[in-house]
Structure 1
């Protein structure tokens, strides 16, 4: 009698495995194509960028476009602004999500489920809906036209709280009770007992938050009106687009985009193991 996996694979399991592998490769090529094209275009000469039909590989790869990026925009300042926004916001999200997730998962208080449901409901609001009220609030607090105004409203995140709550709910209550018996404070329990138990979820949330706030465009553009010195790299790339004349400086735009995508890509390489572990853990639990 054949098991379920054999029946699913059909009469020729090796052929099925080969088809699945080809499908995975095809999907990977399609997903990676824009990134590869961007890097190759950044190494082309202006003449190669304008050529029709398009040239796939540059005849003589050069880095002149990367040097020119630093001349058109203050790349170093823009990268620092993006790094400051992304890292500070990510750190704030991790702390607030861990603490709130712990409270929702392990505390019993009146209205807990209702409050959690209301918080989850905010995840379905499009960001554009809250843009104007949030901007008026930031302006009232005197944080407009500054990096503080970009960072502060994003230090807490409903998705992060939801994610942490789901994972922390799986931490044994006996472990927390033992820490309390030993005299540990609630903060120490959160960061010394609970946090090490949900490291995959923390890494996944850090990756999501960093990439999102590194690439965010609309909110910094709204807050930093008239203060181009604090522009993150994503906004500074807009100057490269305006500097572009037809296809003459396509390589310049592609070079700037390549530099902008490197930090999130490097972070993903370091955190991908934890990211996969979090998916596997959620699948086993759910």
Structure 2
């Protein structure tokens, strides 16, 4: 019984990562993951591959794509990669075309790309920063979902996951505009899920807390920032990217077949909602 529970939970035992039914839960599925050469995106691509999916990863920099593909391929996963700046229409088109050319279709989209060019309160944001944040974090998430839809429809069903943030529920004082953009993804999830539910296409969202990544470095690199951040987390530690990837793997699998329009919070107990 313990062994079964450990396998389902993805617990590490005796140095081995016991992924949930590794190699079978997503067998035959094709997943596209944006911003997936580092941090949460990389962990998601790795986990989906471990569970049997063929995965297309992407990043704005070609060298990062090549490095990540090499690492994941050496780990025995079926992965290919494409240089993709999600704000560039031609890059998004090439990303999806690569998935179809290489693997024959698309079942899963994980929209993970996000930017935050400025820090400060929401009403302190410059117009240029506001525009950039909403272009990438919200508009491009919408466009990726819109443009992948014909491919997922060809598969008679599939899954879209938007990666938001706990800041979408409880805004971070220094990430004002970013926080608002992440709130918008909750609304996009709800609206799109209702439109697509009858087509067996599920749309869900993940709201990670403070995860130890390069993107969140400002929140954990200095001792002062680290202490301040940890004081907000009831579990008293930062999250690991793998703890978000396991949530994503669940949401895109048949284990979540009756879940759509939802946001799963993985924040170590940080306040979100009732």
Q: TM-score, normalised to structure 1's length?
A: 0.25
Higher relative contact order (CA 8 A, sep 6+): 1
Q: TM-score, normalised to structure 2's length?
A: 0.26
Q: Relative to total residues, which structure has the larger strand share, 1 or 2?
A: 2
